[in-house]
Amino acid sequence: MIAVQALEPESLAEWDAYVLSRPGTHFAQRTAWRSLVGEFFPVEARWWQARDEHDRIVGILPVFRGRNALFSSPGGLVADSTDAAVALLERAGGEVARDRLLWLEMRDQSAAWPNAATSTEHVTLVLELATDEDAQWASFDAKLRNQVRKAQKSGLRIERGASQLDAQRTVSVVLAEWFSPSALMGIACRLRIMAMSGCERLLAPVDRVSGRDGMLTA
């Protein structure tokens, strides 16, 4: 018997432990992401957990309500079984119907779930890291190595620091030219979430990248 419940404050640690214990999950499925998104964007969090007869979490679906649709955090639905996935999807589908929304969009899914149309228009690229620097460099093709060398010759420098990440200090002339304000906000969110939730287990640390035209400080 699968029961679907809204995420409550007393379950935050258990939710995060579940996310960390499952392969292929995303840092945006952790509860600090919910707090961060709520701070920056006018959306309502509707995070649901599926529990079995022993009251163990067997699936999660972290979604936000936008103006006319539900959309998930990157990583979307995670479930230990089809039954848990179906229960979560039925809960979300009920919300869509009740509020007369357009759809539920689950982003960056690692699995295809029952009765859910799948689009491959957008993808998440994952690079498998080698065990040492030389092996990683050797794994790059000639074009990529050439691009890296050009960046090095142009004065690009990476500085590693031990201080906490401060995404609100993200200032860069280059980034301002390359990205829209909404994209910059997304970058800031991702940097800050790493600081808030200890994402060193999920992501490599971000330090400071500088060059002749500007600097991104994290």
Angstrom distance (rounded) from CA 155 to CA 85 = 49
**Environment class of residue 110 by beta-carbon count within 10 Å: exposed (0-12), middle (13-18) or buried (19+)?**
middle
In whole angstroms, what is the distance from residue 211 CA to residue 7 CA? 43
User: Two tokens at 172?
Assistant: 């860069």
8-state DSSP, 164: P
Calculate the CA 158 to chain-centre distance. 24
Q: What is the mean pLDDT of residues 136-164?
A: 80
**Mean pLDDT of the 120-138 span:** 82
According to CATH, the topology of domain 3-105 is Aminopeptidase (3.40.630)
- Residue 36: the pLDDT is 86
- E-state strands within 128-198: 157-159
Bridging pattern class, strands 157-159 and 208-210: antiparallel
Residue ranges of the domains in the chain? 3-105, 133-217
Q: Is the pLDDT of residue 125 over 90?
A: no
What is the residue whose two structure tokens read 């690229």? 125
Q: How confident is the model at residue 162 (pLDDT cuts 50, 70, 90)?
A: very low
Q: What percent of the chain has pLDDT over 70?
A: 72
pLDDT at residue 189, as a whole number: 56
- One-letter amino acid at 30 equals R
pLDDT at 53: 94
Token pair 């031990």: residue: 162
- Identify how many contiguous H helices and E strands the chain contains and give both numbers: 7, 9
- What does the mean pLDDT of the chain come to? 77
What is the pTM assigned to this prediction?
0.63
pLDDT tens per residue, range 192-218 = 554 554 444 333 343 444 444 444 433
Question: What mean pLDDT comes out for the span 147-175?
Answer: 63
Among 9-23, 34-48, 164-178, top mean pLDDT goes to: 9-23
Residue 14's pLDDT is what?
Answer: 96
